[in-house]
Amino acid sequence: MGFLSGLMKDEDYQREDPRPAGALEDGETIISPDTRRENRVPPGQTRTRKWPVLDAHGTPDIDLANWKFEIEGLVERPLSWSLDEFLSLPASKVYADFHCVTRWSRLDNVWGGVATRELAKLVGIKPEAKYVLALAYDYGWTTNVPIEYFLAEDSLVAWSHDGRPIPPEHGGPARLIIPQLYAWKSAKWIKGLRFLAEDHAGYWEEGGYHMRGVPWNGGDGERFRYQNDE
């Protein structure tokens, strides 16, 4: 009974089947295209109803009073925000699935935050910028994202999940969400973005993970560097 009672009290445990994308089409929520697939679980993945906690170094201790989000690199206007300023940016909602390279998929998520396209407009990305390096608060952790996935309609820097603030163990106060790539690209505890002309491997990529990471490509998803990048 203790285990079952714990699940019943877990606000993040999904008790229902995933909602079809059409159920969320209210004119305000952005629908991630992968939620429209007949089978929403990529090859090699298994659906979980829980929200597992995975990271490289554990949850960092972040001083929210001095939290900053900075954008630099190949932009016309490098910018920096405090947490209050960042949370005041125009907000979007995204309905998306979430696929971890460790082979679990959490379907039916509603993220709230600022669209990456909105951030791009604010800083003015230079034409030669082809990649983004996401910078995080956990001991210098980074990950790289091709610009076309960063600027996808369903990508955002999120501060809420299913209507509640993202808790620290899941990357709060803000994390990157790139639904069309594996979840390690959705950097937790994000503190900034650097726009680059050339691709630059991040933490897991240096360790052998794929430079792009599309769950649906190939027979088993783009998991590791030895796989074809095309």
Give residue 214's pLDDT.
98
Q: Where are the alpha helices (DSSP H) in 80-163?
A: 83-87, 116-123, 147-150
SS3 call for 58: coil
The answer to the question of residue 30 being in a domain is no
Q: Would residue 33 count as lying in a domain?
A: no
pLDDT of residue 180: 98
**CATH number of the domain within which 131 lies:** 3.90.420.10
Query: Do the domain assignments include residue 10?
Result: no
Domain assignment present for 45: no
In tens digits, what is the pLDDT along the chain, a chain of 230 residues? 454 445 446 789 999 999 999 999 999 999 999 999 999 999 999 999 999 998 888 999 999 999 999 999 999 999 999 999 999 999 999 999 999 999 999 999 999 999 999 999 999 999 999 999 999 999 899 999 999 999 999 999 999 999 999 999 999 999 999 999 999 999 999 999 999 999 999 999 999 999 999 999 988 999 998 765 54
Which phi and psi (to 5°) does residue 36 adopt?
A: -90, -5
> Is 23 part of a structural domain of the chain?
no
Mention every residue, 6+ apart, whose C-beta is less than 8 A from residue 71.
Answer: 78, 79, 80, 119, 122, 123, 192, 193, 194, 195
The boundaries of the domain holding residue 195 are: 61-230
Tell me, yes or no, whether 7 lies in a domain.
Answer: no
Residue 37 falls within a domain, yes or no?
Answer: no
Backbone angles phi, psi at 13, to 5 degrees: -75, 130
What pTM value is reported for the model?
Answer: 0.93
Which residue's entry shows tokens 């990471």?
213
Work out how many domains the chain is built from and give that number. Answer: 1
pLDDT of residue 57: 87
How far does Cα 152 stand from its chain's mean position?
12
Amino acid letter for position 74: L
| 47 domain residue, yes or no | no
Report the distance separating Cα 221 and Cα 177, nearest Å: 18
